[in-house]
């Protein structure tokens, strides 16, 4: 894997990841850009004991540009973008409008950290599910690299890799991409999960996540797909209409801890799950894909790396909105039985794998 780090015109870092060791990524950024904004301001909510970042500069971020003005496409002779190279495989750069930053001068109680954009492909019309396996593996290598690099930064307590897909989710750029947040605190969901894991270990002497995975594999009814090293299942208490958790069979704290075989095996299974989601209603499924990694300094013995993938679409023409119970009280009500969701995802995946009677490959692809 070739890793090439360069600087954009305003000093932000850009890292290219390529399988091709001969790839030339030396094209400079010719733009004249203002200095990056300062870090956000952190404010503490004493009622929930949670931190909130106030980042007013993000109001100015790019919003749903036409495809010929996409800032994540490669640069051309006629138009420069955030990616100076005329082509790339996978590229990661510091977000121009970050929620967290190391640029903290003059900020009261600054939101230390870093926010990065992960461009999965130079092809504007691609999706993660359409990537070849070699490129999926490059993305996994980029996640591992960035998790290790960002975990070493001062003040960073947790690294979060994720993808938002679809305008229904709130995506403002259609180009296939994800993000990475390096937080200056441990997030509320992670704190809650680690607390549950600690209580389970104190009570039983066992690992909570290992027990959950074992129970789902034994029950089988909610398993969507599996291979020798990973299992994807709809959790028994799924909050969203279609929600899938993807676990490695070996307990590891974070993506860098995955070995080569696990990194390869993840890609094939994950693309299957995304294919199943898109096949449910024969529509591009909006989703959030979130890696749950161990915090940098606390609870690493309790954490278990896994991916949470969920969609707000509950029918071809209906979305689930977080209304009073969910938004105000955090008490979810699911419209779809998890067992039914798993059965429908398995059926959608089987249909996508079915040979095309016309002899043109795989049906539905």
Catalytic annotation, residues: 177
Report the distance separating Cα 75 and Cα 59, nearest Å.
25
Whole-angstrom CA distances from 145 to 15, 139, 308, 318 are 10, 10, 20, 38
Report the distance separating Cα 340 and Cα 317, nearest Å.
19
Token pair recorded at residue 222: 């909610």
| Burial environment of residue 268 by CB neighbours within 10 A (0 to 12, 13 to 18, 19 or more) | middle
Please answer whether residues 116 and 1 qualify as being in contact, where contact means their C-beta atoms are separated by less than 8 angstroms: no
Show Cβ contacts of residue 232 under 8 Å, excluding neighbours closer than 6 positions: 223, 224, 225, 226, 244, 245, 246, 247, 269, 270, 272, 273
Please answer whether residues 96 and 68 qualify as being in contact, where contact means their C-beta atoms are separated by less than 8 angstroms: no
Report the distance separating Cα 158 and Cα 307, nearest Å.
15
- Could you give phi then psi for residue 6, rounded to 5 degrees? -135, 175
Please answer whether residues 158 and 185 qualify as being in contact, where contact means their C-beta atoms are separated by less than 8 angstroms: yes
Token pair recorded at residue 300: 């690493």
Report the distance separating Cα 308 and Cα 314, nearest Å.
17
Report the distance separating Cα 24 and Cα 41, nearest Å.
39
Report the distance separating Cα 216 and Cα 223, nearest Å.
7
Stated as kind and residue range, the H or E segment containing 2 is strand 2-7
Report the distance separating Cα 88 and Cα 176, nearest Å.
13
């Amino acid at each position: 894997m070739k890793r090439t780090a360069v600087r954009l015109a305003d000093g932000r870092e850009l890292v290219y990841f390529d399988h091709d060791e001969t790839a030339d990524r030396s094209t400079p950024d010719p733009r004249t850009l203002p200095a990056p904004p300062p870090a956000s301001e952190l404010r503490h909510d004493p009622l929930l004991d949670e931190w909130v970042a106030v980042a007013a500069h993000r109001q100015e971020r790019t919003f749903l540009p036409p495809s010929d003005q996409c800032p994540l496409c490669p640069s051309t002779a006629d138009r420069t973008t955030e990616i100076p190279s005329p082509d790339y495989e996978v590229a990661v750069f510091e977000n121009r409008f970050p929620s967290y930053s190391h640029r903290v001068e003059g900020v009261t109680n600054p939101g230390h950290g870093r926010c990065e954009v992960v461009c999965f492909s130079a092809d504007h019309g691609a999706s993660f599910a359409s990537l070849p396996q070699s490129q999926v593996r490059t993305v996994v290598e980029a996640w591992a690299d960035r998790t290790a690099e960002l975990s070493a930064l001062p003040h960073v307590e947790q690294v979060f890799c994720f993808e938002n897909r679809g305008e229904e989710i709130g995506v403002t750029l259609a180009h296939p991409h994800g993000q990475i947040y390096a937080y200056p605190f441990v997030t509320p969901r992670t704190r809650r999960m680690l607390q549950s894991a600690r209580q389970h270990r104190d009570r039983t002497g066992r690992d909570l996540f290992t027990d959950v995975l074992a129970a789902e594999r034994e029950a089988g009814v909610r398993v969507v797909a599996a291979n020798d090293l990973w299992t994807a299942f709809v959790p028994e208490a799924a909050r969203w209409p279609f929600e899938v958790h993807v676990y490695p069979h070996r307990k590891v704290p974070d993506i860098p801890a995955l070995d080569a075989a696990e990194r390869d095996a993840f890609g094939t299974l994950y693309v299957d799950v995304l294919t199943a989601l898109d096949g449910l209603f024969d529509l591009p499924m909006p989703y959030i894909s979130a890696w749950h990694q161990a915090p940098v300094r606390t609870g690493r013995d309790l954490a278990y790396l896994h991916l949470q993938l969920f969609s707000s679409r509950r029918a071809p023409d209906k979305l689930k909105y977080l209304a009073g119970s969910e938004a105000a009280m955090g008490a979810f009500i699911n419209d779809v039985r998890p067992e039914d969701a798993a059965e429908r995802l398995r059926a959608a995946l089987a249909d996508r794998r079915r040979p095309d009677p016309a002899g043109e490959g795989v049906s539905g692809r």
